[in-house]
A and B are shown apart, each in its own frame.
Chain A
Amino acid sequence: DTEVTQTPKHLVMGMTNKKSLKCEQHMGHRAMYWYKQKAKKPPELMFVYSYEKLSINESVPSRFSPECPNSSLLNLHLHALQPEDSALYLCASSPQDRRVPDTQYFGPGTRLTVL
């Protein structure tokens, strides 16, 4: 089973709203990722959590706040977003087991529209 789930599938929010994106995996993976993908562009890494600790923040604005409550869950809290933040937000996870190549498995994404 290589399933990563994301909710919601679609989200429309105003610039003053606070919302959260949720990601879940039950593969026992120890690394989880958030990517942002604009139309006709490849995914761009935002954050990496390794063993529930934030290991990489790719200079993401503070209006995006990640949270990893446990090894299976990853949240992305959104506050005071701008219309240019509208994009497909992808979550991924990987084993982070040095005995095997570290392949990232992606969820289906959340399509975010900021009005």
Chain B
Amino acid sequence: SQELEQSPQSLIVQEGKNLTINCTSSKTLYGLYWYKQKYGEGLIFLMMLQKGGEEKSHEKITAKLDEKKQQSSLHITASQPSHAGIYLCGADKAGGTSYGKLTFGQGTILTVHP
């Protein structure tokens, strides 16, 4: 099964600073999803990456998938308090053969101080 490891586990930054969260897989990723969650609430879809070397951006958040498709990074530029939350990476649980079975990393808790 797909195992995803996120780092760091938690991150505290000052408003305006840039930051990066990493998600590493033990197997090739066939679809890598980034979600954001406020404590006790649902997951908000951010971005999905499929191709090696792919990069997507939305507002100040950029996600990349490496060429080997085993590592993804999420970069936030000029962080704001609204970026605070838990960031989760998720991937197809069995490497593309089990449609709909997502497994998640442990999450990264982001705190942004104004």
Whether A88 touches B100, Cβ cut-off 8 Å, given contacts A42-B107, A101-B48, A103-B33, is no
In the complex formed, the residue of B with least CB distance to A40 is: B107
Which secondary structure dominates chain B's binding surface? loop
Residues from chain A with Cβ under 8 Å of B43 in the complex? 43, 90, 92, 106
A101 near B100 with CB under 8 A, answer no
Whether A106 touches B42, Cβ cut-off 8 Å, given contacts A42-B107, A101-B48, is yes
| B40 interfacial contact with A, CB 8 Å | yes
Bound complex: CA A5 to CA B42 (Å): 10
In the complex formed, the residue of B with least CB distance to A90 is: B42
Bound complex: CA A88 to CA B38 (Å): 12
A107 near B40 with CB under 8 A, answer no
Interface size class of B (residues with CB under 8 A): 20 to 34
Residues from chain A with Cβ under 8 Å of B42 in the complex? 4, 6, 90, 106-109
- Interface flags for B78-97 (1: CB within 8 Å of A; 0: not) read 00000000001000010000
Whether A102 touches B100, Cβ cut-off 8 Å, given contacts A90-B43, A109-B40, is yes
Bound complex: CA A97 to CA B83 (Å): 31
A101 near B31 with CB under 8 A, answer yes
Chain A residues with a Cβ closer than 8 Å to the other chain, count: 28
| A104 interfacial contact with B, CB 8 Å | yes
Enumerate the 3 nearest inter-chain pairs by beta-carbon distance, A residue then B residue, closest first: A42-B104, A106-B43, A106-B42
A residues lining the B interface (CB < 8 Å): 2, 4, 6, 31, 33, 41-43, 45, 48, 50, 55-56, 88, 90, 92, 94, 96, 101-109, 111
B residues lining the A interface (CB < 8 Å): 31, 33, 35, 40-45, 48, 50, 88, 93, 98-107
A selection of 25 A-B contacts at a CB cut-off of 8 Å is A6-B42, A42-B104, A42-B106, A42-B107, A43-B88, A43-B104, A45-B103, A48-B100, A50-B99, A50-B100, A56-B100, A56-B101, A88-B40, A92-B43, A96-B99, A96-B100, A101-B31, A101-B48, A103-B33, A103-B45, A104-B100, A104-B102, A105-B45, A106-B45, A108-B42
